[in-house]
Amino acid sequence: VERYMVACYDGQSAGFFRAHRDNTTAGTAHRRFACTINLNAEEYEGGNLLFPEFGTRAYRAPTGAALVFSCSLLHEAQPVTKGRRYAFLPFFYDEAAAREREATARSGKVGSDLAKYRVRKAGEGRR
């Protein structure tokens, strides 16, 4: 897991996230899967997930459920029209991608904060 992030999309400002892919930069190329876990699906309106290259169907997981998808898929979070949407948004990658991420961090192509995310060998603790 790359990181733990909780996002807030506020209905007062029609919070949304434009259509994008999650692995298009040097610092994100290692990402394989994105995940969105709704933390309060019953407390807001709008804010559904859409994959525009595959039609107009909107997806909305119930509270605590996950939508997992390839980071290479174009996706967007539609505007929240009422309330606030809270979502847990981790990214997943495999060992090969972890090595890719580590090499990118060492290359200086991205911020030095990525250096703390390194491949752990069996038996090593968390860093």
Count the alpha carbons within 13 Å of 16 in the hemisphere toward its beta carbon: 16
Residues 6+ away with beta carbon under 8 Å from 124: none
Residue 4: which pLDDT band, with cuts at 50, 70 and 90? confident
The DSSP bridge pattern shows strands 66-70 and 33-38 to be: antiparallel
Contact 77, 16 (CB under 8 A): yes
Per residue in 60-97, pLDDT (tens digit) is: 999 999 999 999 999 999 999 999 999 999 999 999 99
Pick from 43, 24, 46, 23: nearest CA to 33: 23
Please report the pLDDT score of residue 106 as a whole number: 87
Residue 111: which pLDDT band, with cuts at 50, 70 and 90? low
Query: How far apart are alpha carbons 22 and 34 in whole angstroms?
Result: 7
Mean pLDDT over each residue of the chain, to the nearest integer: 86
Does the pTM surpass 0.85? The reply is no
3-class secondary structure per residue, 90-115: CEECCHHHHHHHHHHHHHCCCCHHHH
Q: Does 3.30.1490.20 match the CATH number of domain 6-94?
A: no
